[in-house]
Structure formats: structure tokens, C-alpha cells
A and B are shown apart, each in its own frame.
Chain A
Amino acid sequence: MNRNLFAYIWSNSRREQLAILAVVLLSLPFYFVSLDLPKYIVNDAIQGRAFAGGKTEATLFAFRFTVPWWLGGSGTPITLFDGFTLERFAYLFALSGAFLLLVLVNGGFKWFINLRKGKLGELLLKKMRFDLFSLLVRFSPESVKAVKPSEMATVINNEVEPIGGFVGDAFITPVFLGGQALTALTFIVVQSPALGVIAAFIVAIQALIIPRLRREQLRLGKQRQLAARALAGQIGEVVEGISAVHSHGTSAYELARIDRRLSHLFKIRFDLYNRKFFVKFVNNLLAQITPFIFYALGGYLALTGKLDIGQLVAVIAAYRELPPPVKELIDWDQQRMDVQVKYDQVVEQFATVTLIPEPTQAPEPQAFRTGQVEAASLKVVDGRGQVHIDNVSFVIPLPAHVALGAEGGDGPDIVARILGRQLMDFSGRLKLSGYDVAAVPQEEAGRAIAYAGPETVIFQGTIRENVSYGLNLCPPADETWDHPGDWIDYAAAGATGPEDLDARIIEALRVVGMDQTIYRFGLGGLIDAERFPTLAVQTVDARRAVFRALAETGSTELIEPFDPAAYNRNATISENLLFGIPIGGTLAGRRFISHPFIRETLAKSGLTADLTGMGREIAATMIDIFTDLPPDHFLFEQFSFIRSEELPDFAAIVARLDRGEPPTADETARLIELTLDYIEPRHRLGLLDAGREARIVSARALIKSTLPADLAGAIEFYDPDRVCAAAPLKDNLLFGRITYGVAGAEERVLAVVQDCIVRLGLEQDVYRLGLDFQCGPGGRFLTPTQRAAVALARALVKRPCVLVVNEALVQFGEAERRQVLERIQEAMRGASLIVAMKTVEAPPDFDHLVTFAGPRLRGTLALGSRMGGGRVASDAAASSA
């Protein structure tokens, strides 16, 4: 990017700037005429100069001109338009109408120019952000480590914003406003050179003095900011160290320190007021004194006949037009300085990093399938001068499965990083199939080489999106700003389309041992009938099959089915009341109990007192159990019915109830709310008896039968013969709740469910539904093992020629690590796999073992396996340093 802001703006928006400047210039004559016209209105129409000599009619808008003699004119005027002949009032109104028209035209110009200016600014802001972002993705791995992500986001997002706002003003504002000011000034000079000189003088004072005063104001403003920041810092420091202040009795000392700071701040602020009001005073004075001069001197000139009244009126009107543009010009200058500083900072920030070099060669991705990996004198020294690897050279024919091992030292890690293009600051050379690894263009490298490291990157989105992330390689033709196209390169994954790709993704997840998790996610997913028509249709069949299968194995006690006429003890009270799922939030969460219809229905069923009493019991128990626990303790979050900050409220409510005072409506609602998630066999507070259960079931019937029309869409009721689209697949399949308290109930039920799903041929759909699982920001909804598995699957699904696995399996347990590695080897059969380890023992079935001793290579060893599918070169135990 250009280091000069104006040059950057000009080079990126020259044409548009010129177009707008042309419009600006075009607008100036109209502006001049609009200044000139009042003169004619006053002189010709009002004072009647056009009707001098008792004429009752006069000609208006006649257009004639005389060709000057030096152009060969004859001296007689040429008439282009004879004008209109109008009587006196019509004359006045016609001129006034023309003035109004000019006002509109000038307004139109202003509107048009501002609009184009704004658009120009936004376009360039978009381009600037894009430019910076494209620089960002080319940052070398080392530079990325050196920057703070939030800083970069702030730079691209916020800091360039004012620059973008300035772009439209950069050239146009000085020309537009300066042009207007000059036009007005010219007009005054034409009318009266004397008044023109005065006006120019005053404008000059304004333009020279005020920026100086303002600059001082700016400096003081910055000082005030610093002083305020220091004050805040000191207050914070005292608050944090208050115990030290107390124990040493230094309050007076601290007070004096703060007082000094406050006095300093006061001085700056007072100076600032001085400046501010002085500038205001000067501004006002200049604004007021000029009309005085104009009235006095202009009146004198008018009386002596050197200036007519019309001119005087017009000059005063023109002078009124003068200060705003000048003031805005001064503002523009200040903005320019501000923005220049910001721009310099942004450019600076991006100038200090190293970028991944522009590619020099673009090989076919498949070229990396064969050939050899060839390291020559690799050496990596970090910023502190520590040597990580030194003089590492080896040659191994590809495809091969290579284990990099070391006892101590980080040789395997470093070499894996270089191979995976995660480390570019090294000397020596690493060639893959004859190509310099660091110089391969990003896209080709992305297709051919996959790297899975210890740091996993999970983007916000579904598991599917995360695993297929590396396939986003085909720019779609139909992409618009509000409709992202499909970037997926299906062929790269060996798939024919989205559904087929899902199968590949599931396969990759199976390799990394995450298939059961995905299956579980699928059971927790909502059935989208449009995307999974078979599943939607067959879920009810599957539900019946599950129930039959449970009955056949004598396990019906493991599950309590939903029965419209019976209380489900393993479901929550709110589930029992609604017998369905709230939709759209009208009855969800807190709003459920505050809804008048629900409140009335509970009252009608005689449940208000029951539930309030239960709420009181729950509150009392929670207060008893959780009061002494630290507020951020995880048991609070997982188990308490009451949030820590609400405990005192509830303690007060319970105390009031214990004194025999009746609860207020709000307290009743809050107490009832506590009961909504209560499940007797799970929470075991002994709050439900047969009577209460029966009353809840009757309230359920009442809710359904008297549901007002405006709530018709707010609940999806459970129906044994229909799919409930708002409930997860698992609930739809079970149509009931797994019984609490029976050891292993869930595993046994889920095994039966899986069996039925497989028999009905729905298994793949459940997996695919599981791929819809949202990973959350940074993969927060996944466990570390799951994140590692997703990152590995991402590397596998694109079927790379070379897969580098560097500590990507550390999250897995030992037994699982071995199994996953075996399956990865199987999946990479015929391609190259490079695994960095922390031992020198090669796992089974590797072709080569490269070992390090400290930063140096100990040796390479051909192991005689044929996992890579290629020949085993017995001479591969090449040079060791």
C-alpha cells in the first residue's frame, strides 16, 4: 500500500474523483447566479428600476451578447432569446421563482455531490479493508504469531473507518467549499472592491488564527485524555491495593496524590475552556463585526451612489454564505491531519511484517504423489538465538509413511512444521517432489499437503463446514454479496455432490474415531423434513420399532413413554404442563410463567398454591446448600436452580413466607418458575405426590383445550402418531424419557435405538444430521479431543498427497491414539504420511524412521514396510549429518 494517503486515494479513485470534481465546477456558476439574483430582485423588481420612466411592462430573461471586435464582431448585439414581457408583479414573482429554482438546483448539486462522495468513500473503505485483509492472509506464520488477533481486527475494522470517511472529502471538499467561498468572495469584489477587500481580510483572519487556536485546543484535548487515563489508572491501583492502604494507614498520602492529579486535570480543563471560549468569542466577533462594517461602509457607499441597494443586499447575503465553507475547510484540514496520522499507523502496522513470498512456480497438485522428500542443510534458529535444528539433510522416496522421532529436542516438530508450511523462517532447503515447499503457491499447497498440528483451528459453523473447510477451493460463478455460492471442490474429496461429500466426511470422522459422537449429535438434532424427507417420514415407524424392541428385550422399564393422560415422572414439570415444545419464544423460558393464559390456567387447575409451595421448598434447599459456595463454582452453574446473584432475593422471599406473609404476584411467579425444571427422581426433594401430579395433568388438558388463537403457533404438542419438528430426533424416537436411577439405562436404550435405526436404513441420515452440529465460536461446544478429531478429519477429507501429523493426536487417550493412527495409515495407503513423535520407537507399519539427537539428525532408517505402497529403497538411509 502507498505510504502517502492522498496518493493512495488518488490512485484508487482517480476517475470517480475527476467526475465529481467536474460536477463541482459545473455547480459554481449556478451558485454565482444565485448570489447575483437578489440584486435584480431588489433593484429591478422592488425598487422598480426596470420600470423606470413609467413603463408598465418590462422584458425579462432576454439573452443577447455582443461578439467582441477581436473575434470579428460587428458591435451589434446578437439576440438569442427575446425574453418575456411582464408587468411589475409578474416580474417580481418570476424573478423570485427563478431564485427559488436556483436554490433547488444548488441543493440538488449539493445532494448529488454528497451522495457520490459518500459512495466513493464507502467503496474505497471496502477496497482498503479488502487490501489489508489480503495482506493479512499472506502474513508468514512467524508474523502471525507476533500480532494480536484483536489488534488486527481493530485495525481492519475500526481504525480505517475514519479514513474511509475522509476519502470522499479528500479532494472534493477543498474544491467544493473553496470554490464556493471564492465564488462568494469574487461576487463581493465584483460588486464593491472595497467591501471585497474587507471580506477577504476577515476570512483570512479566520483561516489563519482559528486553526492555530484549534490546534492548541487539540493538544490540550490529548493532554486531558492522558491525564484522565492516568487518574483512572491511579484510582484503579488504589482500589486494588486498598488493603495495603488500610494496613499502612496511608489514606492521607493517597488522597494527596489523587488531589494533585485532580488539580492537574482541572488546570488542563480550565485551559481548554479558556481556549474554547476564546475561539468562540473571536468567531462570534468576526461574524458580528463584519455586518457592522458592511452596514456602515456599504450604507455609506450606497448613500453616496457608489453602490446600489440591490448590490448591498446581495453583498450582505453573499457574506452570510462565506463563513460556513471557511469553517468547514478548517475542519477538513484538521480531519486531514487526524486521518493522516491514523493512516500512517495502519500502514506502519502492516509494513513491519514479512509476507509469504509471491509464488514462483505452480505445480500440479498431483505432482507431490511421487518423487522424493529432500531436506538439505535445514537450520532453524529462533529469535533468542536458540538452535532448534541444525544441518538436517535426508532424502526419502515418496510415497512413504515416515515417522519422525526424537528423544528430547524438537527436531520432529520443527521438520513437520516446515513440511506443513507452518514455519517459513529457516535456512537450507526442503524439497517435495522437486518443488521448494515454501515457494509452492498457497492453493496448490493446500490441495497437496495437509497439516494437522497440536493447535487446532475450529471455525464457527457446523461440523460439516469445519471438516470440508479445506475443500473451499472452487470460486463459484453465482456468488453475490447476499448469497454465498458453493466453493466446495467435490472432486478433490472424491465426491460427486453434497450428499456424497457427507458420506466422505463421515468416513473421515470414522477414521479419527468421532463417528459415535456424530451419531449422538445426530440424535440431538432437529429433523428438517425438507433436507431429510425419508427420516421425517420414517421417524414414527422407528419410534414404534424402538418401543417393540424394548418390549422384546424386557426393558420397557428403562423408558417412560409420553402419555397424554398420565404424568411423566422422568420429565420436567413444564414438559408435563405443556406436553409439547414451545416455539418462537412466546412461551419459552421465563415468559412461560408470566404469560397471563398460563397463569390463569394454573390458577383454574388449583396449582398456583401447589407450585408456589414447591418453589419455596426448592428455594429453601438451594439456599441451604449453595449459600457458602463461591459464586462462580461450576456446581452452581450445573446444579443450582437459582443463580448465585439471585440467592439473597430468594432468601428474603423465603423469610417473608416463613413469617406468614403472602407472596406478591411477582414473587409467586419467581417461585413457580423454580419448579418448572424439577424432575422428582432426579432432584429427589420429595415435592410431588399423586394429587399434584393429577392436577398438573388436568392443567395440561386445560392448556390444550382452551389455548387462545394467538398462542396456536406457540406450542407444538406431542402426538404419538406424528413427528414433533421442534423436538430433537432422540426425543422423537423414544417418545418418552429414559428412566432416572437405573444404572446403564441410557446406554442400553441407545443401543436399542441404534439397532432400529440401522434396520430401517436411517443410520446415514442420523450421521448427516449430526454433521449439522454447531461447533460454537472457536469450537467451544466441542471437547478438546473432538476439536482435534475435527481438525484431523479436515486434513484427511481432501485426500492430500502428503499428510503431516504433528502432535495432533495428543488429545486422544493412549489406546485410542494407536487405533486412530492405524486407521489414518490405512486411509493414507498409497500416499505419504509424515508423523512427528516424541519417542524414537517407530509405530508399526511405517516405511521410514528419521531420528534426531538434539538439533541434529541421528539417522534415517528404512523399515521395510510397504505402507506407502511404493518401493522400499534400501539405500534410503541416506546422509546423516
Chain B
Amino acid sequence: MALESEVESLRAVPIFKGMDPRRLKLIAFTSQRLSFKAGDVMFRQGSDSDCAYVILDGSAEVVLETPTGPLVVSRIGSHSLVGEMGVITGAPRSASVVAVTEVGVLRLPKDHFLSLLEEFSQLALAVMRDLAHRLEATNRLLVARNEKAG
């Protein structure tokens, strides 16, 4: 059944790794299954952060709208979680995400995602770990740049 395959996909997402399968089932069941066509804007920079997406299949680009025009920052594929930062901070979207191929996602509405974090410390910890890793990566990048500049 479809729900089961979604649970399998969720299990492959790093922050959901090791979570109780029943929890993953809950997350899948309470999410919306959506599909975007190639070229569809999944969310736009500056808009309200009302949900996070788990990409089940297909790939998308993270695009930064800059004064000089759109700048593709990175490309994301299946099993990635996107848009959760804005949901946690409450800030508007920091970049746009555009579907490159047809993209199948699970849409986790903001309220659900936050309540899941509240309910399951395991998940909250995983998100924290992920954010900490990203911060570390950014720091390293900064240091590298400074060294290069210096």
C-alpha cells in the first residue's frame, strides 16, 4: 500500500532514521501526498513558511533570488527534507525551491511538524543535530574563505 512505501521513504531521510516505524506511519498518514510538475515553484522566497516537504521522488533546485537575478544554490533529490528551517524559526522562506523533474512529496504542515517536534524528543534531537552540522559546515566554509582572503 502507498502509505507503507511512504514510510520506507521517510526512513531513508536522515533525521527520521532510527525512528519507531509507527511514528513514521503517523507522520506519513497525517501528511499530504502531493506531486509537482517540472518547473512548478514548490515555495517562493519571502513567502510564509507554512510547511516542510519530504521529497519522495524527483529532484528540485534551491534558488536564491538576488538583485542580479536567480542563483541556483543547490540541488536536492529524494529523501531530503526541505523548508523545515522556516517552520522552526517562523521566518519567511529564505530561498525558492523549484521542481526540476516531476516531484513527489509529503507535505508536513507547520502545526503538525512543530507538534511532532514537541511530542517526540527523538525527532527534535535529530533536527538539532542536523542544524548543528549545517552550522558547523557554514563555519568551516567561513574559516576557509577568511583564510583564502587573508
* Residues of chain A having any CB pair with chain B under 8 Å: 621, 624-626, 628-629, 633-635, 638-639, 681, 683-687, 740-744, 813
Q: Is A741 in contact with B33, judged by CB distance below 8 angstroms?
A: yes
Q: Which of B25, B30, B34, B40 contacts A741 (CB 8 A)?
A: B34
Cα distance A639–B29 in the bound complex, in angstroms: 8
Question: Would you call B36 and A743 a contact (CB within 8 A)?
Answer: yes
Query: Told that A629-B119, A740-B32, A741-B34 touch, could you supply 4 new A-B pairs with CB distance under 8 A?
Result: A638-B30, A639-B30, A684-B6, A743-B42
Tally A-B pairs: CB < 8 A. Answer: 58
Q: Give A629 to B6 CA distance when docked, in angstroms.
A: 21
In contact, B3 and A624 (Cβ under 8 angstroms): no
A681 to B44, CA, bound (A): 26
Q: Choose among A628, A638, A743 the residue that contacts B34 (Cβ–Cβ < 8 A).
A: A743
Residues of A within 8 A of B112 (CB): 635
B145 contacts chain A at the CB level, 8 A cutoff? no
- Whether A635 and B42, one on each chain, are in contact in the complex, defined by CB atoms closer than 8 angstroms, is no
Measured between beta carbons, the chain B residues less than 8 angstroms from A686 are 1-4
What 1/0 mask marks residues of chain B from 79 to 113 whose CB sits below 8 Å from any chain A CB?
A: 00000000000000000000000000100000110
Complex contacts, B59 vs chain A, CB 8 Å: none
Q: Which 5 A-B pairs have the closest CB atoms?
A: A686-B1, A684-B2, A743-B34, A625-B26, A743-B36
B122 at the interface (CB under 8 A from A): no
Contact between chains at A741 and B26 (CB < 8 Å): no
Q: How many residues of chain B have a CB within 8 Å of chain A?
A: 24
Query: How many angstroms from the CA of A685 to the CA of B5 in the assembled complex?
Result: 10
Q: Which residue of B lies closest to A684 (CB)?
A: B2
Using known A-B contacts A685-B3, A686-B2, determine if residue A625 contacts B29 with beta carbons closer than 8 Å: yes
Q: CB distance A681 to B1 under 8 Å? A: no
Question: Is the pair A634, B26 in contact by a Cβ cutoff of 8 Å?
Answer: no
CB distance from B2 to the nearest CB of A (A): 4
Please tell me if the beta carbons of B33 and A626 are within 8 angstroms of each other in the complex.
no
- Residues of chain A within 8 A of B36, CB atoms compared: 743
**In the complex, what residue of chain B is closest to A626 when comparing beta carbons?**
B26
Residues in chain B near residue A634, CB distance under 8 A: 111, 115
Q: Could you tell me if B26 and A629 are in contact, using CB atoms closer than 8 angstroms? A: yes
A206 to B14: give the CA distance in the assembly, Å: 90
Q: Which residues of A sit under 8 angstroms from B40, Cβ to Cβ?
A: 743-744
Which residue in A625, A633, A638, A743 is a CB contact (below 8 Å) of B35? Answer: A743
Give the Cβ gap from B22 to chain A, nearest Cβ, in Å. Answer: 6
Specify which chain A residues have a CB less than 8 angstroms from the CB of B25 in the assembled complex: 621, 624-625
12 A–B contacts from the bound complex (CB under 8 Å)? A621-B3, A625-B22, A634-B115, A635-B115, A639-B30, A683-B29, A684-B1, A684-B3, A686-B3, A740-B33, A741-B34, A744-B40
A635 near B30 (CB under 8 angstroms)? yes
B28 cross-chain contacts in A, Cβ below 8 A: 684
Q: How far is the CA of A744 from the CA of B40 in the complex (A)?
A: 9
Select one of A624, A638, A685 contacting B1, CB under 8 A: A685
Q: Are A681 and B111 in contact (CB under 8 A)?
A: no
Residues of B within 8 A of A625 (CB): 22, 25-26, 29
Within 8 A of A (CB), among B112-128: 112, 115, 119
Most chain B Cβ neighbours within 10 Å, of A621, A639, A684, A740: A684
Q: A744: which B residues are within 8 A, CB to CB?
A: 40
Distance (whole angstroms) from the CB of A737 to the closest CB of chain B = 15
Interface string of B41-53 (1 = CB under 8 A from A): 0100000100000
A48 to chain B, nearest CB (A): 99
Give chain B residues whose Cβ lies under 8 Å from the Cβ of A743.
34-36, 40, 42, 105
Shortest C-beta distance, A769 to chain B (Å), equals 27
**Which residues does chain B contribute within 8 Å of A638, judged by CB atoms?**
30
Interfacial chain A residues near B48, Cβ < 8 Å:
813
Q: Please measure, in the bound complex, the distance between the C-alpha atom of A685 and the C-alpha atom of B7, giving whole angstroms.
A: 12
C-alpha gap A609/B32 in the complex (Å):
29
Q: Which of A635, A683, A685, A687 has the largest number of chain B CB atoms within 10 A? A: A635
A687 vs B26: C-alpha distance when bound (angstroms): 18
| Alpha-carbon separation in the docked complex, A103 to B16 (Å) | 90
Q: Shortest CB–CB separation between residue A688 and chain B, in angstroms?
A: 11
Q: How far is the CB of A629 from chain B (nearest CB, A)?
A: 7
C-alpha spacing A242/B43, complex, angstroms: 52
Interface string of B36-75 (1 = CB under 8 A from A): 1000101000001000000000000000000000000000
**Contacting residues, chain B, for A624 (C-beta < 8 A):** 22, 25
B22 cross-chain contacts in A, Cβ below 8 A: 624-625, 628
Task: Name B53's closest neighbour in chain A (CB-CB).
Answer: A743
For B32, what are the chain A residues with a Cβ–Cβ distance below 8 Å? 740-741
CB distance from B91 to the nearest CB of A (A): 12
A435 to chain B, nearest CB (A): 45
> How far does the alpha carbon of A637 sit from the alpha carbon of B112 in the complex, in Å?
12
A668 to chain B, nearest CB (A): 23
Nearest A residue (CB) for B3 = A684
**What are the residues of chain A within 8 A of B1 when measuring CB–CB?**
684-687
* Complex CA distance for A697 and B107, rounded to whole angstroms: 32
- Closest A residue by C-beta to B116: A635
CA distance A638 to B30 in the complex (A): 9
A107: min CB distance to chain B, Å: 70
